[in-house]
């Protein structure tokens, strides 16, 4: 059913709600909740659809604030009946993966733990660490999230030493490979010296490491080494021998004592307080701990077993069948253990067992996982308490009515006006939220080499950052329909920062205040500046800084934000400066793109020879016609 944009939420139309609930059968299946614009808010499954869906709308039902917010937006409910509960679970997993409804994410993607990404969507896949979960294309694969970021980086560095892989996201040179090719650390991806098919075979071996299949990879390499030795190819056999030795060192000190250590298993447990649950998952292959994953979840309305079950569903729905272990040890009984077991078995293509161990070494393993989850939860609570204290102190310093949960920091970087850039960094609840960071190239024509203007640059960055909010505010003012106003108000509030911090003194602050006044946003955005020398905080319209101590928690929070904005701006400025230095003189010739430049350099070997060539000689290069050859010649020989 496609709903009209003017359809009221079901909570405001009890008669239509009751009629819709009566239409839902008491059978297994999945349900889809949509808003007034037909967007999917949530996809769920149930053994009895009618009872489960009705429970959302009972006054006596205790709902979390997040789910209560969802229920208030539900304008229509769709359902799909399935023959079995296992089918409903599989269908739910597929639909959630396809539509990614906002309210389906139980596991919080807080960028605390990193993932490893392999970009299978590219001909030559990249392998890199990221904190942006599933932000790429559908073909790309994400492994994690890994609790131990240092161990993940070490593993990736070692893997890049073992296998020849692309070392850079972009080529260093246009006409030749970099030194990594000479060191045999890269197969010359930038110049396509290896075919995509052969390169992907190497990446598939790397993927096995992060799938927990290191033992299987070693066995495969051992077989190839023996074959190479039989064929008297001792150089290749020695190379494979070194790869095997390096792979064994990855898990040399991670032995876990279990009686049947040939079984592939994973152990999952949690520690929770009143609001949050920290979940840990240990990946064990052949008695070795090959990975430790961590998740955070809302724990306010679910029993521990239900949280673990949802974590298992979300984690294994995005895993490849080969990654699913033969045995999963859980800390608590799962509400739908049989359904989960059948679903995992169907996905893997062979039997998967889930169990709550009660004694001996498996129970001790679960206890160890739970202990690690408790330590992580305590560490997170300490960090939250510290950040909350800092936000409370900052709110007191600048007289904010509420805690500044979203703070944005801005800075400008350049060298005497050259390559001027701006940065926007965001802290959410006192923690850097890098998914919201933004770069700005300064477009002001007056800001150039030899003439800098930080005030004008900051004004430009702030104008560009808040232009969308200004437009949304104008739309809201022109709206007549109250429901639309309410929805847009909530979206606007979510994007508005509670506080904006400018790196600088009174001059920088005044420039930003003038822009916000011009945009009619000064009453919506609180803005301050932090001067470097004495760590002084300035407020709009005040000539003197606030009386603060540079070491008090609120000021330290602003200092961390300022330092991060400065770091982010400087790194982007350096990148722009490096890119400019790397630009070839050929880039300035109209119509001469990268491929044609590559062909020219391959033919003449250097720009000096291109400059000395005649139009006729230039035209001999494939893809360079007589007209373009004449333009190239005239560029190097102006009249």
Domains of the chain and any CATH numbers = 10-104 (3.40.1440.10), 265-380 (3.30.420), 406-580 (3.30.420.340), 585-636 (1.10.150.20)
**Which residue intervals of 479-583 are DSSP H helices?**
482-495, 506-518, 553-582
Kindly give, in sequence order, each residue whose CB lies less than 8 Å from that of residue 184, ignoring residues fewer than 6 positions away.
Answer: 164
The confidence score (pLDDT) of residue 583 equals 58
CB atoms < 10 A from the CB of 19, how many?
11
- Residue-level pLDDT at 485: 41
Q: What is the pLDDT of residue 488?
A: 44
Write the CB contacts of 497 (distance below 8 Å, at least 6 apart in sequence).
406, 407, 408, 426, 525
Reading phi first (left if > 0) and then psi (alpha if -120 to 50, else beta), residue 425 is in beta
Q: Could you state, in chain order, the average pLDDT of each consecutive group of 10 residues for the chain (639 residues)?
A: 58 89 91 89 89 84 72 90 83 80 66 82 90 71 82 83 85 82 88 92 88 81 86 84 77 58 86 86 82 80 84 84 90 89 88 89 90 89 89 93 93 88 93 89 86 90 90 70 44 74 92 93 92 88 88 94 94 82 70 82 81 89 88 84
Residue labelled with tokens 């499954």: 45
| Per-residue confidence (pLDDT) for residue 109, from 0 to 100 | 52
Phi/psi at 168 (nearest 5 deg)? Answer: -130, 145
Is the Cβ–Cβ distance between 531 and 538 less than 8 Å? yes
The residue among 106, 111, 113 whose CA lies nearest residue 427 is 111
Buried b (16+ CB within 10 A) or exposed e, 120-130: beeebbbbeeb
| 3-state helix/strand/coil string of 196-226 | HHHHHHHHHHHHHHHCCCHHHHHHHHHHHHH
Q: Report pLDDT for 301.
A: 61
Contacts of 336 by beta carbon, 8 Å cutoff, 6+ apart: 85, 89, 309
Look at residue 486 in the predicted model and tell me its pLDDT.
44
Residue that is written with structure tokens 């995509």 in the block:
196
pLDDT score recorded for residue 434:
84
């Amino acid at each position: 059913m496609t709903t009209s944009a003017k359809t009221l939420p079901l909570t405001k139309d009890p008669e239509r709600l009751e009629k819709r609930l009566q239409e839902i059968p008491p059978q297994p299946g999945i349900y889809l909740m949509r808003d007034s614009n037909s967007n999917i808010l949530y996809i769920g499954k149930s053994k009895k659809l009618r009872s489960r869906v009705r429970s959302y709308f009972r006054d006596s039902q205790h709902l979390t604030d997040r789910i209560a917010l969802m229920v208030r937006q539900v304008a229509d409910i769709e359902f799909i009946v399935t023959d079995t509960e296992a089918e409903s679970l599989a269908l739910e997993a597929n639909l959630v993966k396809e539509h990614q409804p906002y309210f389906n994410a139980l596991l919080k993607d807080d960028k605390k733990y990193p993932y490893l990404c392999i970009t299978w969507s590219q001909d030559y896949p990249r392998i890199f660490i990221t904190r942006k979960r599933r932000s790429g294309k559908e073909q790309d694969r994400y492994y994690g999230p890994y609790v131990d970021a240092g161990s993940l980086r070490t593993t990736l560095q070692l893997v890049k030493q073992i296998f020849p892989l692309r070392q850079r996201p972009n080529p260093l040179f246009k006409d030749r490979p970099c030194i990594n090719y000479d060191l045999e650390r890269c197969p010359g991806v930038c110049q396509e010296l290896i075919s995509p098919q052969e390169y992907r075979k190497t990446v598939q071996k790397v993927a096995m490491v992060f799938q927990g299949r290191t033992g299987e990879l070693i066995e495969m390499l051992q077989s190839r080494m023996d074959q190479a030795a039989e064929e008297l190819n001792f150089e290749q056999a020695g190379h494979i021998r070194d790869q095997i030795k390096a792979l064994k060192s990855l898990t040399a000190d991670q032995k876990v004592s279990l009686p049947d250590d040939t079984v592939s298993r994973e152990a999952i447990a949690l520690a929770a307080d009143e609001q949050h649950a920290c979940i840990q998952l240990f990946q064990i292959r052949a008695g070795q701990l090959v990975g430790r994953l961590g998740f955070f979840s809302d724990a306010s309305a679910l029993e521990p077993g239900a949280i673990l079950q949802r974590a298992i569903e979300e984690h294994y729905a995005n895993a490849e069948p080969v990654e699913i272990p033969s045995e999963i040890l859980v800390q608590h009984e799962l509400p739908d253990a049989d359904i989960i077991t059948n679903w995992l078995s169907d996905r893997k293509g062979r039997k998967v067992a889930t169990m709550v161990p009660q004694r001996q070494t498996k129970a001790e393993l679960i206890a160890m996982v739970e202990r690690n989850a408790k330590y992580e939860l305590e560490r997170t609570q300490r960090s939250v308490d510290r950040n909350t204290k800092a936000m409370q102190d900052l709110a007191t310093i600048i007289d904010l009515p509420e805690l500044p949960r979203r703070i944005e920091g801005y800075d400008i970087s350049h060298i005497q006006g050259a390559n001027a850039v701006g940065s926007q960094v965001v802290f959410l609840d006192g923690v850097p939220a890098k998914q919201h960071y933004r770069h700005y190239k300064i477009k002001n024509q007056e800001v150039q080499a030899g003439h800098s203007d930080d005030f004008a640059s900051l004004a430009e960055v702030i104008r560009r950052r808040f232009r969308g909010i200004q437009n949304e505010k104008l739309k809201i003012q022109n709206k007549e329909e109250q429901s639309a106003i309410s929805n847009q108000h909530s979206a606007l509030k979510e994007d508005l920062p509670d506080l904006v911090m400018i790196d600088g003194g009174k001059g920088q602050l005044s420039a930003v205040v003038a822009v916000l006044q011009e945009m009619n946003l000064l009453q919506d955005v609180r803005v301050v500046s932090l001067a470097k020398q004495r760590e002084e905080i300035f407020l709009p319209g005040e000539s003197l800084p606030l009386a603060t101590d540079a070491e008090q928690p609120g000021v330290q929070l602003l200092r961390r934000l300022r330092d991060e904005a400065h770091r982010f701006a400087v790194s982007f400025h350096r990148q722009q400066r490096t890119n400019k230095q790397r630009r070839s003189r050929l880039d300035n010739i109209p119509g001469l793109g990268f491929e044609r430049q590559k062909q020219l350099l391959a033919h003449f070997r250097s720009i000096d020879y291109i400059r000395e060539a005649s139009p006729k000689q230039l035209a001999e290069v494939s893809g360079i016609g007589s007209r373009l050859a004449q333009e190239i010649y005239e560029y190097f020989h102006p009249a």
